[in-house]
A and B are shown apart, each in its own frame.
Chain A
Amino acid sequence: MAQARAHSGLLTMWTYIARNILQRIVTLLIVSIVAHSVIHLAPGEPSQVDPSNPRMKPSDIENIRAAFHLDDPLHLQYAYWIRDLFTGELKSFKDNQPVLPKIWQRFLNSLPLLICATLIIWSLSFPTGIHAAIRRGSVYDRSTTFTAYALISIPGFFLSYIMILWVVDTFNVPVIGMKTFGMEDADLAFRSMDRLWHLVIPSLMSAIGGIAVLSRYVRSQMLEVVGQDYIRTARAKGLSEDTVIYRHALQNALLPFVTMFGFLLPALIGGSVIFEQIFAWPGLGRLGYEAILARDFPVILTINFIAAVLTLAGTLVSDLLYAVVDPRIRLQ
């Protein structure tokens, strides 16, 4: 009997997942169609098709337009795009390079930045947030609250510029790009430390907003949990304050954060456009931005598509995770 229930539970779970994936595929289809139409209807032409270039003969422009299928009806262009995307033959309008390897390369560049920023956000937010919650109303709590709101309000690009100027002026060390230019012939140790250093400032700057938000969130979660009956029970049992806070309270306060892991996925793409631009970081966000400026439709659409896939996957993952860690939530 118990086995059968478990079995049927597993079944409900699988049907739940299957149904969810199906729904998300439909959403994805709609998203991609909308994105495709919006981008093609927006004014502007791919940069290769530049009628003001005196070296371009009208016949050249026609050839390029034909090669890009720019004169076909929109639904056909959409079909061509989907076909090329899934056969891996999609080429950029800007330099005729295959799109997927290009995106993969840029993704690998963005990845260390994202990992480092995430590490900073998560490792710094918890101690600050917890501490503020425990000492609610103290000077520490009030000053972190103030700092957090200040950091949330100040635009990140502004802070980044100030930071760059300060670091450069005070320490005379390079902060722009993925590595110091001209270090190709240096020893491995120096080269890797140089790469690490170049991660520090941009990831810190892109983490600042996250730290401010997340530490506030940790604080309010902790406050909510600390007020619960079972905490009072724990204290009444005579447990040490540390055990009460870090075992009983923290574990329960952590629950909602599980879902946030899901949202990390789409951040892989959109999270750092501004910072990659400011720090001249050749990452994915910058690729997307440059593609928009050059009206490089295949690159824009593919990045958009991948972002949509990751967002949908992210929500699915957090739904599932939540169900796994919180027994109160049941799959229907």
Chain B
Amino acid sequence: MWLKRLLILIPLLLTAILLQSYFWVPTYETQAKGNPKRLLKYIEASSGDAKILNPILNADSASSSIVGMVFEGLLDLNENLALRGRLATDWTITEQAYLLVDPDAQLPNGKSATAARLERLIQHALDSGSLPELNGVLLHIRQIPSEVRTTTVEVRTPDENDQPKTTSVAVSINVPERVAFMLSRVDQDFFHRLTPIIGEQYGNNFQLDKYIHITDPVDEIVETLVKAQFPSLLSVTEHNPELLFHLRQRVKFHDGQEFNAEDVKFTYDSIMNPRNISPRTSDFEPIKYVEVLDSYTIRMVYKRLYSPAITAWTMGILPEHLLNETAMQAEMDERDLSEATRETFGMRDSQFNRSPIGVGPYRFVEWQGDQFIKLDRNDDYWDGPPEYEQYIVRIIPDLLIQEVEFRTGAIDFYSALPHQVARYREDDTYQNFSSLGFGYVYIGYNNRKPLFANPQVRQAMSMAINVDEIIQYIMYNEAERVTGPFPKVTEWYDESIQPVPYDPDGARALLESLGWKKNADGWLEKDGKIFEFNMVTNSGNPIRKNIMSIAQNAWKKIGIKCNTQYFEWAVFLKDFINTGDFDATVLGWSMGIDPDLFQIWHSSQAGPQQLNFVGYNSPEADDLIVRIRQEYDRDQQRVLTHQLHQVIHDDQPYTFLYAAKGTRILDKKIVIVNREPDGTEQYEKIYPLKSGAIRFYFNKWRKLEHTPAF
């Protein structure tokens, strides 16, 4: 019966046709099957799409990873996280310092100060060897005659409807004579070293009112506000660090145009252009001016001491010829924009951000929204072209799909979640790299609340918590204890500081010595009040939620009553963190490479909306924080950061918990390719740097057809 046979044959045939396709598809082991080019593509996944591919505007991680391949900065970080020249071949940091002549000041020798006298005295002291620290540092002294400057000051006052209103007020400054010093290196204690000549009190009674005059007619409120800004207009001493870059020559942008100093200046100008709303302004605002000396030499003069400003030059450099006024006009004409749009048209609106051009190892090819971004190798890259021909970032929001695609070889890299790490570590199909991240998790106590004002109380709180247990059960051992505010992978972290020991009995004894006695219900009580507070965190983060439960339970054991609450992230920030209206909280910080802790720990940053929301206030720490950001010498900085680490550890404004480890899983067939002079290739296993980073040699990475044996 033909129908019967047909009914059996059709499904069999269909199944056969469908299933035979399996034999044509590449697997993890045979990725080059029918597709040898696969070995020259590096494919990575990202949970979110990139937003804006512009080094001065991007703020999200997907954009940053692309921007880092397409653009290049003047500097970057080397194997030891120290600065290394890229578009700059070398750089020097010097300083111009200025001392205002205060005619009312009396010098230690009894005479009044004049520029000529100061110059003579200091030169004499230098020549006679009584200022040994400045030998070889102070290169040149000169006098600057008095001058008149005019400027405008902006103040904000409420208008009749209580809305903020900005008023510009013209002021004229009679700058007195000055003495200028040229220093071979930045020295934040330079003026301190001059005390034997100028005296301890020099400049302390400098009367700004005598030198600054408001030239516009203003009312009293505005006048007070303007006067409050006088100290920023004229100061007795001024440090002007200078950064001189020598730039690499014959480096070309992807469109063939040669890179030069004008591009660097343009990049700076674009960041500071308010129309562009760049998130990088705070790093570049301390720059007084940028001066192009010739096509390959550029100097940045800073208004004040601010060492993180140097690291900021790792940011990518923009091509001036594609984004300057003329280019923007051309783009507006081409896109036929209306007058209204032209009014507000800025770099943010340019098509450049969707098809960027830089000098980096890869050039931009294609961006399919929510699908992928594709880059091609830049064969003219100044440091030699990379091994991979293509660099592709796929947008895969679902982590499960990311993992599935990784295991089939359709992406090359996967970031394992803590609970998956053990499985991958045993699996020798892949190579895995574990390292500590730059972040840490902590319990923060509101130092302003009377309950937590005493550092010993905070010490006892920390002693009651078994952090190792948290690491073991919540983080699956994929974390390490931390004792202070610096990332553990940097040299700023002092490894010698021991964590607060887990000691509930000690904690109870410590609290008892402070007057907290156990009452009939088992709670600690002092002056008729029991030890009770609220701890808050954001919802949607199971790890923080679990930490709260463990801490709550640990404190309960020693008689402390802790109530916990979760709030949606926006509400949590708005109602608790930004207003400082909480007792304790579980949160995490993700730190940068710089040792600057000003925003998180300085007492001036404890206002509403600021980052020192726990209200930590220690004059000793404040002083160290300021000295660290003014110090340009790495060794000196390390000494200072270790001191700061100790101070903060002793005060325990937070219970520092752990720094999480990140585990990156990589296709095992990816290796470092070393090319010998005779043209042969040597393969080397990928190895992590001291900081844990593996991508440092990315340009030498390539995938082999079969797993190599080392």
Contacts and interface: CB of A to CB of B under 8 A. Distances in A.
Please indicate whether A and B come from the same complex rather than being unrelated chains.
Answer: yes
Given A175-B404, A176-B410, A197 B21 contact: yes
B339 to A, nearest CB: 14
A246 B28 contact: no
B26 interface: yes
Contacts of A175: 404, 408
Contacts of A229: none
B11 A194 contact: no
Nearest to A200: B18
B34 A174 contact: no
A181 B24 contact: no
Contacts of A200: 18-19, 21-22
Contacts of B27: 171-173
A175 B19 CA distance: 13
Most buried by B among A126, A161, A196, A199: A196
Nearest to A197: B21
Interface stretch (B1-9, B153-161, B320-328): B1-9
Interface in B25-53: 25-29, 33-35, 37-38, 41, 43
Contacts of B239: none
A129 B41 CA distance: 49
A127 B407 contact: no
A182 interface: yes
B369 interface: yes
B228 interface: no
Contact of B409 (A116, A119, A174, A194): A174
B148 interface: no
Given A190-B34, A196-B21, A197-B21, A176 B401 contact: yes
Nearest to B45: A181
A181 B404 contact: no
Interface stretch (A150-158, A162-170, A306-314): A162-170
A186 to B, nearest CB: 4
B411 interface: yes
A190 B27 CA distance: 13
A199 B400 CA distance: 20
A185 B409 contact: no
B7 A126 contact: yes
A304 interface: no
B689 interface: no
B236 interface: no
A183 B408 CA distance: 13
Given A173-B27, A243-B1, A197 B22 contact: yes
Contacts, number: 118
Given A174-B410, A182-B41, A247-B3, A189 B24 contact: yes
B408 A174 contact: yes
Size class of the contact patch on chain A: 35 or more
Given A126-B7, A173-B25, A243-B1, A168 B408 contact: yes
Nearest to A116: B18
A172 B24 contact: no
Given A185-B37, A242-B1, A247-B3, A168 B21 contact: no
B709 interface: no
Interface string A111-140: 000001001100110110010000000000
Given A119-B14, A164-B404, A193-B25, A181 B35 contact: no
A91 to B, nearest CB: 16
Most buried by A among B11, B17, B27: B11
B43 A182 contact: yes
Interface of A is mostly: helix
A199 B21 CA distance: 10
A124 B11 contact: yes
Given A127-B7, A181-B394, A190-B33, A120 B14 contact: yes
Contacts of B24: 189-190, 193-194, 197
A123 B22 contact: no
Contacts of A194: 21, 24-26
Contact of A171 (B11, B22, B41): B22
B22 A173 contact: yes
Interface in B226-254: none
B474 interface: no
Contact of A176 (B29, B37, B277, B405): B405
A126 B396 CA distance: 39
Given A169-B407, A176-B410, A187-B34, A197 B3 contact: no
Most buried by B among A173, A193, A196: A173
A172 B392 CA distance: 21
Contacts of A250: 3
A175 B392 CA distance: 19
B411 A181 contact: yes
A105 to B, nearest CB: 13
Interface in A185-212: 185-187, 189-190, 193-194, 196-197, 199-200
Given A180-B410, A187-B34, A189-B24, A172 B10 contact: no
Contacts of B1: 240, 242-243, 246-247
B259 to A, nearest CB: 30
A61 interface: no
A55 B277 contact: yes
A280 interface: yes
Contact of B10 (A123, A168, A169, A182): A123
Given A173-B22, A194-B25, A246-B3, A182 B14 contact: no
Most buried by B among A171, A176, A189: A176
Nearest to A184: B37
Contacts of B372: 181
B407 A123 contact: no
Most buried by A among B4, B394, B396: B4
Contacts of B11: 123-124, 127
A216 B525 CA distance: 73
A207 B372 CA distance: 30
A187 B26 CA distance: 13
A124 B43 CA distance: 39
Given A123-B11, A172-B408, A173-B408, A185 B29 contact: no
Given A174-B405, A240-B1, 19 more contacts: A127-B11, A172-B28, A172-B409, A173-B408, A175-B408, A176-B405, A180-B408, A181-B372, A181-B411, A183-B26, A185-B37, A186-B34, A189-B34, A193-B24, A194-B26, A200-B18, A280-B396, A280-B398, A280-B401
Interface of A: 55, 95, 116, 119-120, 123-124, 126-127, 130, 161, 164-165, 168-169, 171-176, 180-183, 185-187, 189-190, 193-194, 196-197, 199-200, 240, 242-243, 245-247, 250, 280
Interface of B: 1, 3-4, 7-8, 10-11, 14, 17-22, 24-29, 33-35, 37-38, 41, 43, 277, 348, 369, 372, 392, 394, 396, 398, 400-401, 404-405, 407-411
Q: Top 5 nearest A-B pairs by Cβ distance?
A: A193-B24, A190-B34, A186-B35, A197-B21, A242-B1
20 contacts: A123-B10, A124-B11, A165-B404, A168-B407, A171-B27, A173-B408, A182-B38, A182-B392, A182-B410, A183-B35, A186-B37, A186-B38, A187-B35, A190-B35, A193-B24, A194-B26, A200-B18, A240-B1, A243-B1, A247-B3
